[in-house]
Structure 1
Amino acid sequence: MTRSPPSLRALAAALLVALLACAAWFRPLDDAAGEHLDRGMAAAFAAFATARALNGVISLVQSAQVSAQLGVGMSVAPGELLDPVNDLIERFSDAMLAATVAFGVQKVLLAVGAHWVVALLLGAASLAWAGLALSGRPSPRWLLRAVALLLLVRFAVPVAAVGTDLLARTFLASQQ
Structure 2
Amino acid sequence: MVALIILLIVAVSWSGYIDRQTENYVNQATVQALAAFATARVLNAGISVAKSVEVGAVVSVQPLEILDPVHDLVEQYSAIMKLAIGSLVIQKVLLEIVATGFFKVVLTLLAVLLLATLLVGSANQSTLMFKLFALACLVRFLLILAVGLNGLVDNIYVNNKTQQNMVELEVLSLEVDALTAAKVPDETSWHSGITSKFSAAIDLINLENLKRKAEVAVPAMLNLMALFILKTLLLPLLFLWLLLRGFRVIWGVNFGKVWSSVTV
Please say whether Structure 1 and Structure 2 have the same fold, judged by a TM-score greater than 0.5.
yes
Q: CA RMSD in A?
A: 2.8
Shift of 1:119: 0.4
Q: What letter is aligned with 1:48?
A: F
Shift of 1:88: 1.1
Show CA shifts across 1:109-144 (max 9, x none).
111111111100111123334433552331498866
Aligned-partner Cα distance in 1 for 2:123–2:75: 60
Residue aligned with 2:60, SS:
strand
Structure 2: give runs of 5+ residues left out of the alignment: 165-264
Judge conservation of contact 2:37–2:81 (CA < 8 Å) in 1: yes
Which amino acid counterpart does residue 29 of structure 1 have in structure 2?
Answer: I
Aligned residue number for residue 34 of structure 1: 23
- Say whether residues 1:86 and 2:71 are aligned partners: yes
Q: Which amino acid aligns with 1:111?
A: E
The correspondence for 2:136, drawn from 150, 160, 170, is: 150
| Greater percentage in helix | 2
- Check 1:83–1:148 CA distance in 2 against 1; reply closer, same or farther (3 A cut): farther
Counterpart of 1:4?
none
2:42 counterpart SS class: helix
Residue segments in structure 1 that go unaligned for 5+ positions in a row: 1-10
1:44 to 27, 30, 33: 33
Tell me the alpha carbon deviations over residues 8-67 of structure 1, each in whole angstroms, 9 at most, x when there is no partner. Answer: xxx84x654443233211111111112111111100000001111111111111222334
- 8 Å contact from structure 1 (residues 55, 86) kept in 2: yes
Check 1:90–1:123 CA distance in 2 against 1; reply closer, same or farther (3 A cut).
same
* Whole-angstrom CA distance in 1 between matches of 2:146 and 2:50: 43
SS at match of 2:104: helix
Does the residue aligned with 1:158 lie in a helix, a strand or coil?
A: helix
Count of residues in correspondence between the two structures: 161
Q: Normalization by structure 2: what TM-score? A: 0.53
* Counterpart for residue 252 of structure 2: none
2:51 to 37, 40, 62: 62
Which is strand-richer, 1 or 2? 1
Q: Which has the higher contact order (CA 8 A, sep 6+)?
A: 1
Give the fraction of aligned pairs with identical amino acids, expressed as a percent: 32
1:75 corresponds to 2:64: no
Task: State the one-letter code of the partner of 1:167.
Answer: V
Deviation of 1:163 after TM superposition, in Å, equals 2.1
Find the counterpart in structure 2 of residue 21 from structure 1.
10
- Under a length normalisation based on structure 1, what TM-score does the superposition of the two structures give? 0.75
Q: Which moved more, 1:42-51 or 1:129-138?
A: 129-138
